[in-house]
Amino acid sequence: MRLKYLGGVYPTTFKENTRRKPIVPLEPAPKQVIIPLVMCTDGGAVPVVKVGDKVTVGQVIAQPEDRGVYVHASVSGTVSDIGTYPHPWGGTGEAIVIDNDFQDTPCPNLPEPMDWSKMNREEVIRRIIEAGITSMGGGASATHLRLKRAVGKVDTLIVNAAESEPYLTSDYRLLLEKGDQILEGTQMLARFLRAKRAVLVVSGDKLNAVEFLERRIKKRDPSAVELVTLRTRYPMGMERLLVRMVTGREVPPGQTALDLNCAVFNVATVYTTRLALLKGQPVTHRTVTVSGGAVARPRNLWVPIGTPLKCLLEAAGGLREESPCMLTNGPMSGTIQETLEAPVVKNTKGLVCLSQQEHDPVTQPETVCVRCGHCVSVCPMNLNPAFVYRAVRMGEVERLKGLHLADCLDCGCCSYICPSHIPLLELVRQAKTIPTQGGEKG
């Protein structure tokens, strides 16, 4: 099935840089990993190790606080510090530093492999909690909390492999290299949630992956997982849009996919969940695309959590020219990194270092609005960013009422398309914080 939707943009994807690059282990391995205690947006964790302790791969080093997740050692070695370090989401945070002994000694206390079909609901949740799984597609919510909320309430499970951010191909490579495991993981989650329909969503430009998955689905059980191909454009991977495109249901303002009986999980989360359920394996590594015009040898890497971003760049041959802009998780919705001292966390799917040539077109000086309407036509939520611009710039905040800003997905399509280079996304974000919107405050 092939679906489409209104809105969105077609940025140059630059995916050719890494599309054919298989996922390879990070070489050389990092001398030190810096593992933040905040790995999800629901809460943090408190250390259960102290400086000088020896740790092994997969060993719990911090346990959840509030609604956070377990944190595990991703290399074996010695805890050398517990302190404040840069966090890739911005600012700094508490982290546990481990000096790598390069032995990769596995933790002897990991849960035993199990037959997932015989697990009850409590066992499934316990394994996911113990594995410290969070959303791995950009969002960073705790997976066990989302599953607990969704179980028995959803009729449709959507596995998101759309990956519409330019440059990133880590999900694409995962589909090609671990397709069977992802299909199995999808079936596991659908069974757990008691969903009638399990849908794997892939963008139309991932032709190799689509053909491969179609063959595998036919061979396995054609009724178990449905493959849906979407027309390639950004931001088709956002939860609300996926629900709309797959089920035809509109997610109303202030509600989530779950309110419409849908659960959405990223493909990397599904892969990790399968590993946790079958093998008791915690989240210690993930795939990361290192790309961008300034990177000497773009590639897809299998990286220990906590690896400083600068080590990823080193493994990709370093910079071939000075990069004016380095980001984690892609240029459209990612986070700018002033330095590469921050580490990889569970939702880091890419490191993009733009070249001067790639960066210049998006940093033109701002001019006046020419009322072309492009920002309105590309907004996937049918908002009017030009109205927001006028209201904010002219200080007429009363006009913000009724513009439904809470619906904004922060996708950045409006800023991207504006011929006057008006920073519309920033203005919309700013407008969301103005307390005059009668319940629409973001």
Cβ proximity to ligand SF4: between 65 and 410 the closer is 410
Q: Token pair for residue 91?
A: 């600012």
| Per-residue mark of binding to ligand SF4, 340-379 (x: CB under 6 A) | -----------------------------xxxxxxx--xx
Does 412 bind ligand SF4 (CB under 6 A)? Our answer is: yes
Task: Determine contact, residues 176/208, Cβ cutoff 8 Å.
Answer: yes
Which is closer to ligand SF4, CB of 45 or CB of 428? Answer: 428
Strands 71-72 and 77-86: unpaired
The one among 381, 392, 427, 431 contacting ligand SF4 by CB under 6 A:
381
Place of tokens 């009668």: 438
Task: List the one residue from 131, 340, 383, 392 that touches ligand SF4 (CB under 6 A).
Answer: 383
Q: Which residues pair with 349 in a beta bridge?
A: none
Q: In this structure, what is the dihedral angle of CA atoms 268, 98, 351, 405, given to the nearest 10 degrees?
A: 70
Give the containing element (helix H, strand E) for 428: helix 424-432
Binding window for ligand SF4 (CB under 6 A); candidates: 139-147, 182-190, 315-323, 385-393: 385-393
CA gap 30, 315 in Å, rounded: 10
Any residues with CB less than 8 A from the CB of 294 and at least 6 apart, and which? Answer: 319, 320, 321, 322, 323, 353, 354, 355, 356, 358
Selected from 183, 386, 392, 431, the binder of ligand SF4 by CB under 6 A is 386
Does residue 282 have a cis peptide bond before it, meaning omega lies within 30 degrees of 0? Answer: no
When the beta carbons of 400 and 428 are compared against ligand SF4, the nearer one is: 428
Min. distance of Cβ 333 from ligand SF4 in angstroms? 9
Of 72-80, 166-174, 249-257, 404-412: span binding ligand SF4 (CB under 6 A): 404-412
- Select from 413, 427, 431, 437 the one that contacts ligand SF4 (CB under 6 A): 413
* Contact in structure between 179 and 213 (CB atoms under 8 Å): yes
| Cα gap 384→373, rounded to integer Å | 9
Would you count residue 419 as binding ligand SF4 (CB under 6 A)? yes
Stretch that binds ligand SF4, among 26-34, 107-115, 160-168, 402-410 (CB under 6 A): 402-410
CB of 376 to ligand SF4, least distance (A): 7
190 token code pair: 């659908």
| Range in contact with ligand SF4 (rule: CB under 6 A) among 53-61, 106-114, 219-227, 417-425 | 417-425
Please give the structure tokens belonging to residue 188: 């596991």
Piece in contact with ligand SF4 (CB under 6 A), picked from 125-133, 255-263, 337-345, 423-431: 423-431
Count CA atoms within 13 Å of residue 356 on its CB side. 3
Minimum CB separation from ligand SF4 for residue 6, in Å?
12
**Closest distance to ligand SF4 from the beta carbon of 251 (Å):** 13
The residue behind tokens 């849906």 is 228
Nearer to ligand SF4 by Cβ, of 23 and 243: the residue is 243
> Any idea which residue has 């249901």 for tokens?
249
Look up tokens 């005059």; give the residue.
436
Positions touching ligand SF4 (CB under 6 A) are 369-375, 378-381, 383, 385-386, 389, 408-414, 417-420, 422, 424-425, 428
